[in-house]
Amino acid sequence: MTEHPSSPEHHHQRPGRAPPLVTGAGFLRGARLALPVMPGMMAIALATGASAARVGLSFGENLVMCATMFASASQLVVFELWPDRFTPDAVLGLALIALTVNARMLLITASLRPWMGGLPAWIYPLLHLTSDPSWIVSMRYRNEGGTDAGVFFGASVLLASFWLCFTQLGFVLGALVSEPRRWGFDLIMPVFFAAMLVPLWRGRRNAVPWVVAGAVALAVERLVGGWYFIVAGAIAGAVTGGFVDDRRD
């Protein structure tokens, strides 16, 4: 029997064997793949909304911030350093901190280029919805041979939608989760990332960039302080991973 080009089997090929495509089936599959992440995303969103209420943002300001910034890690860091009085220096400092924490997104979105570089330009604004969880579940699908970019967008749209809903709910119920660490919310994302790394393991060579990234991040956190360790660890791991892949080829 001849396989139809639009069948799911046809789409699930090794990377590079088929042109990029976005289908409704892939979109739904991405949403399904993101479902296990939802509890963690909802908890982080509740904590972020509660923190926004604690520093005095209005409901509308929180909505706009969460929609345009869409970055739980940097938002929580910014809220922790929220000044009592805003000055140009304070605003610049908060902006630089948010930029530092989110700089890893440059590497994350760059890694999507080989997969999505051939897609039409009108779809690129949806990359604003990129998040760590949607990237991880999508790259797991990609590493297993999938080619349908709809998986990435399905996961991203679902997570972003729930993010907006639960940050607003967290704002309303802010008093209940005003201290995220008290409820263990600070452990949710590390545990999630650790669990998602297991399927991405492809042999002992994978350990090299992971160990380098962790060691550099720990060293920078101890020696420099602040949040630079996030960027330093990400860059060190990415560069090391590039050398490891080159030697493998």
Residue 138, pLDDT above cutoff 80? yes
Give the residue extent of every domain in the chain: 17-200, 202-249
Residue 244, pLDDT above cutoff 80? no
- Does residue 150 or residue 243 have the better pLDDT? 150
| pLDDT confidence band for 62 (50 / 70 / 90) | very high
Most confident segment among 14-28, 71-85, 146-160, 224-238: 146-160
Mean pLDDT, residues 61-80 taken together? 89
Amino acid 86: pLDDT: 87
Mean pLDDT, residues 118-144 taken together? 90
Residue 102, pLDDT above cutoff 90? no
Helix (H, G, I), strand (E, B) or coil at 148: strand
User: What is the torsional sign of CA 10, 14, 17, 22?
Assistant: positive
Amino acid 249: pLDDT: 53
Predicted TM-score (pTM) of the model is: 0.69
Q: Tokens standing for 218?
A: 């720990």
Residue 229: Cβ within 10 Å count? 19
Q: Judge whether 142 and 15 are in contact, CB under 8 Å.
A: yes
pLDDT cut 90: percent of the chain above it = 27
- Cα(72)–Cα(165) distance, rounded to whole angstroms? 14
First-last CA distance in the chain:
36
Amino acid 90: pLDDT: 82
Residue 195, pLDDT above cutoff 70? no
Amino acid 154: pLDDT: 96
Amino acid 72: pLDDT: 85
If you write DSSP's letter for every residue of 161-203 in order, what string do you get?
HHHHHHHHHHHHTGGGGSSGGGGTGGGHHHHHHHHHHHHH--S
Amino acid 215: pLDDT: 93
Q: Tokens standing for 21?
A: 């495509």
Q: Could you write out the three-class secondary structure of 93-134? A: HHHHHHHHHHCHHHHHHHCCHHHHCCCCHHHHHHHHHCCHHH
Residue 241, pLDDT above cutoff 90? no
